[in-house]
Structure 1
Amino acid sequence: MRSAIIEALYPTSANILPAVCEGLGLASGDRDKAFASKRNYVQGRISGLSRDRLLQVAHQLLQDGPNFELEEAVARVEEASERLMSDLLRRAIGRALIPFDLSGHIPLNEFLRDVWPIDRLPSRLNHGETVQDDLDRHMHRNADMDNEDALEAVGAYSGSQRRFFRFLEALIHPRTREEDEQRRLVAILNPLLQRDGFHLAETGSVSGYPVFTIKAIGGSAEAPADPLISEVLAAFDEASVHEAWTRALQRRATHPEGAITLARTLLETVCKHIIEEAGGTYSDRDELPKLYRTAAEHLQLAPDQHTEEVFKTILGNCQNVVNSLASIRNKLSDAHGRGRKAVRPAARHAELAVNLAGTVATFLVSTWRARQAAKL
C-alpha cells in the first residue's frame, strides 16, 4: 500500500507537495527535498506509519477522486481479515458466464469501464497497448475472445474481491438486463458463490426491478442448511424448482410476503414434478395440500402407508407442515389483497416458512431419488 500512496501523490507538483503532505497529517519538510525526488520525499514520511495510519492516509487521498491502483491496494489490505473467494471459484464463474451477453443493454467497453479503467490498464497481449485495445480487436472485430478471456484481460481473477463483487452486482443490475435474465443468472451464480460462503441477495428495487447485492452467508441472512438444500434442488430441477428456492431465499429478509408466496410455489413445483415423473396426474385446481398427498402416496410417504407409529407420526406432521404453509400463504403472503388492518409478516415468519418449505422439498426429492435408485 505504501507504493500505491507514493504513486498517488507523485503527480502532485513538487512546489506544493510539502503542503499536501502536511494536509494529510504527515511530517513537514522543505521544497528542496521534494524537488530532488518526490517519491523519496513521500517515502520518508510514510515509511514508519502503522497499517491503520496508512489506510487513513489512503482514504483521505481517495476522497479527492478515484484512483484504481490505490483503491485496489486499500481493498487488498482491508480484505485480508475478511472471508475471501478463491481464484478457482472466480474462474468457474467466468466459465459460467460464457453463454451470456456480458454487458446486456450496455456497450461492452462502457460496462467494463465502470468497473475497471480498461483504457488505461496495460494490455497483457501487446506491449504499448491497453486492455481496451485488446477488447476492440478480439471481441468486437475478430470475435476470438469469450467472456472468460475478457475477464482475464481486465484482471478480474487476480484483482481485489471488492471489485469482483462490484462487477457481479453490475452484471445483475436492472440497468444491464431484463428481470428474467437477472434471475436466470442469479440461479446459476448462487450455487457457485455458496461454495465460498457468499450469495447474491435481493436487497432492493429500482422502478420495481430487483437489485441484487453480494452477501456473506451467515447470521440471519442464511441458515446453515441453505447450501445443502440448494445443491439438492438444483440437481433435481435447475430451471423451476431451484429458481423458486433461490428467489425465496433472496426475499426472506427484504420481502417477507413474497418469500412466503415463493415457499408455497417451491413445494407445489416439487410435488407436481414428482407426480408427473411417477406417471400420476393432478388438476390445475389442486391446492398444495392435495398435491402433497398425491406426491406422498407415489413416494410411499403417506402416514396410512406405514404401520410403525413413529413413522406415522413424523409423516403426519410433514402433512401438517404443508397444510400450515398453505394456510400462512393465504393469510400472510402477497398472493391476495388485504384490508388496512391485516397482519403483515416479519422476516422471521418468512424465514420459518422458507426453511420449512426447503426442508420438506429436499426430503421429497431425496426420497424420489432413493426410490428411483432402488429400481435400478
Structure 2
Amino acid sequence: MKITDSTRRKIIDSYQLEPMAWSGQLSESEFLSRIFNLNEVRSTDNRFKTAYQDIQQHRERNDDWGDDYLFTDPRFNIQWGTDELFIQFLELTVHPLVRGAEQSSKIVGIYNKILRNDGLHLVADGEAKGQPVYKVKVRGSFHGDVPEVIARQPLLTDSGVLHEHLGRIKKSIGKDPASAIASSKELLESLFKLILDQEGVQYPAKDDVPDLYKKVGEALKINAESVKGSGKASQTIQKIFRTLTTTVQAIAELRNEIGTGHGRTTASIATEAHARLALNSTVTIAEFLLDTLARRKTETSAYELI
C-alpha cells in the first residue's frame, strides 16, 4: 500500500489545524513506545541518553517542544518514513487503548476522507475492549461471497444482524441459492432500518423494503445529489438513483418469486447465478448508501474538537 506525500501532509495538517492529540489518553512516551524502542533511540539533549528521557523532559514534565515535533523529528520520521510506519501510526491513533469508540470513529472519518485519494481506507478488523480495531485496507468493491465490510461499518449502531445475514449468504449461495436471495433482501431491509434508526427516522412496522428505501433516500438527501458544474451530469446521476429504486423493488420481488418467501408450494428454480446477481445488486445499493452516510458524517464531524 502506497501513501502519497500529499496524503501524509493533509493528515498531519489535520492535527495542526485542530487540537487533536495523536496520543489520545496515553502519554506520548507510552504511545511512541508501542512503535519504537525509545530506550534505543538516542537523545538530542546532552543531559540525557535516550529519546524516552527526552520526551518525558520536554513534553511531559515541561512543554517546550512544539506539538508537531513527532512529524519533524528525523529520529521518528513519521512524515517521510516508510508506508508501513505511517500506517502503523494511523492505526494506533484510533486503537481502543488510545481513545474511545466515538472519538476513534470521528478520526477515522477524517482519515478516510483524505486516504480516499490513495485508494485506501480504515475499516474495523476485529475488536478490543468491546471496540473496533481499525486497519488500513485497499478500497474495493464489496462484491463477492461475503462482503463483510458492510457489517463492519463504524457508522452503524448495530452490525450484529448484518453479520447473521452475511453468514447465511456465505453458507447458502452455492448450495441453496433461494435462501441466499432471501438473505440478500433481508440484509437490505436490516440495513435500511439501521440507517433510519441512527438518523432518528420513524417507520411503521408495515413498511416494506421499497418504502424503507424511500425513507432512507429522504433521510440521506439522495435526491439532492448533484455534480457541481454540470447540469447534464446531475440529471444522469438522478437517473442512476432512480435505477437503484427499481433495483430495490426487483430484489424484493425476486425473493418473493424464487427465494424462500411466502410458503412456497413448489421447488425454487433459483440458480447460483441468480443468487450472485441478487447479492451483487444488494452490495451496489449498500455500498452507495454507506458511502453517502460516511460522507455526511465526515462533513458534519470533520475538524470538530476531539
- Scaled by the length of structure 2, the TM-score of the pair is 0.53
Higher CA-based Rg: 1
Shift of 1:85: 1.6
Compared CA separation, residues 91 and 192, structure 1 to 2 (3 A): same
Q: Percent identity at matched positions?
A: 21
Residue 9 of structure 1: aligned partner: none
Aligned mate of 2:214, from 278, 289, 295: 289
Aligned mate of 2:57, from 125, 128, 137: 137
Residue 319 of structure 1: aligned partner: 245
Shift of 1:140: 1.7
Please say if residues 268 and 291 of structure 1, whose CA atoms lie closer than 8 Å, have aligned partners that are also in contact. Answer: yes
Residue 300 of structure 2: aligned partner: none
Shift of 1:356: 4.0
Q: What secondary structure is seen at the aligned counterpart in 1 of 2:68?
A: helix
Shift of 1:164: 2.2
Please say if residues 96 and 131 of structure 2, whose CA atoms lie closer than 8 Å, have aligned partners that are also in contact. Answer: yes
Shift of 1:292: 3.7
Please say if residues 203 and 211 of structure 1, whose CA atoms lie closer than 8 Å, have aligned partners that are also in contact. Answer: yes
Residue 148 of structure 1: aligned partner: 68
Residues in 1 aligned to 2:140 and 2:36: alpha-carbon distance in whole angstroms:
30
Residue 192 of structure 2: aligned partner: 264
Residues in 2 aligned to 1:292 and 1:325: alpha-carbon distance in whole angstroms:
17
Compared CA separation, residues 312 and 199, structure 1 to 2 (3 A): closer
Residue 133 of structure 2: aligned partner: 211
Compared CA separation, residues 167 and 324, structure 1 to 2 (3 A): farther
Residue 75 of structure 1: aligned partner: none
Q: How many residues align?
A: 221
Residue 285 of structure 2: aligned partner: 353
Q: What secondary structure is seen at the aligned counterpart in 1 of 2:29?
A: helix
Structure number with higher relative contact order (C-alpha < 8 Å, ≥ 6 residues apart) = 2
Shift of 1:177: 1.5
Residues in 2 aligned to 1:219 and 1:179: alpha-carbon distance in whole angstroms:
26
Residue 92 of structure 1: aligned partner: 10
Q: What secondary structure is seen at the aligned counterpart in 2 of 1:210?
A: strand
Please say if residues 213 and 248 of structure 2, whose CA atoms lie closer than 8 Å, have aligned partners that are also in contact. Answer: yes
Aligned mate of 1:106, from 26, 33, 41: 26
1:295-338 Cα distance to aligned partner (Å, 9 max, x none): 9898599xxxxxxxx9998665343346679999xxxxxxxxxx
Compared CA separation, residues 221 and 211, structure 1 to 2 (3 A): farther
Shift of 1:174: 1.3
Amino acid at match of 1:119: N
Residue 52 of structure 1: aligned partner: none
- Scaled by the length of structure 1, the TM-score of the pair is 0.45
Name whichever of 282-291 and 183-192 sits farther off.
282-291
Please say if residues 112 and 118 of structure 1, whose CA atoms lie closer than 8 Å, have aligned partners that are also in contact. Answer: yes
1:148-180 Cα distance to aligned partner (Å, 9 max, x none): 322333221233222222222222111222111
1:186-233 Cα distance to aligned partner (Å, 9 max, x none): 1111122222232112111235321111112347589xxxxxxxxxxx
Please say if residues 124 and 154 of structure 2, whose CA atoms lie closer than 8 Å, have aligned partners that are also in contact. Answer: no
Cα root mean square deviation, aligned: 4.9
Residues in 1 aligned to 2:105 and 2:12: alpha-carbon distance in whole angstroms:
17
Residues in 1 aligned to 2:193 and 2:217: alpha-carbon distance in whole angstroms:
12
Compared CA separation, residues 117 and 350, structure 1 to 2 (3 A): farther
Compared CA separation, residues 164 and 314, structure 1 to 2 (3 A): closer
Compared CA separation, residues 121 and 256, structure 1 to 2 (3 A): farther
1:184 aligns with 2:106: yes
Compared CA separation, residues 267 and 107, structure 1 to 2 (3 A): closer
After superposition, where does 1:1-376 map in structure 2 within 5 Å?
83-98=1-16, 99-123=19-43, 129-153=49-73, 154-218=76-140, 247=155, 255=163, 264=192, 284-285=202-203, 287-290=212-215, 292=217, 316-321=242-247, 351-357=283-289, 361=292
1:256-287 Cα distance to aligned partner (Å, 9 max, x none): 859857953797599x8xxxxxxxxx974475
Amino acid at match of 1:353: I
Shift of 1:100: 2.1
Q: What secondary structure is seen at the aligned counterpart in 1 of 2:78?
A: coil
Residues in 2 aligned to 1:246 and 1:218: alpha-carbon distance in whole angstroms:
17
Structure 2, unaligned stretches of length 5 or more?
145-151, 167-186, 205-211, 227-235, 255-275, 297-306
Residues in 2 aligned to 1:95 and 1:311: alpha-carbon distance in whole angstroms:
33
Compared CA separation, residues 300 and 353, structure 1 to 2 (3 A): closer
Q: What secondary structure is seen at the aligned counterpart in 2 of 1:320?
A: helix
Residues in 2 aligned to 1:144 and 1:326: alpha-carbon distance in whole angstroms:
63
Compared CA separation, residues 114 and 256, structure 1 to 2 (3 A): same
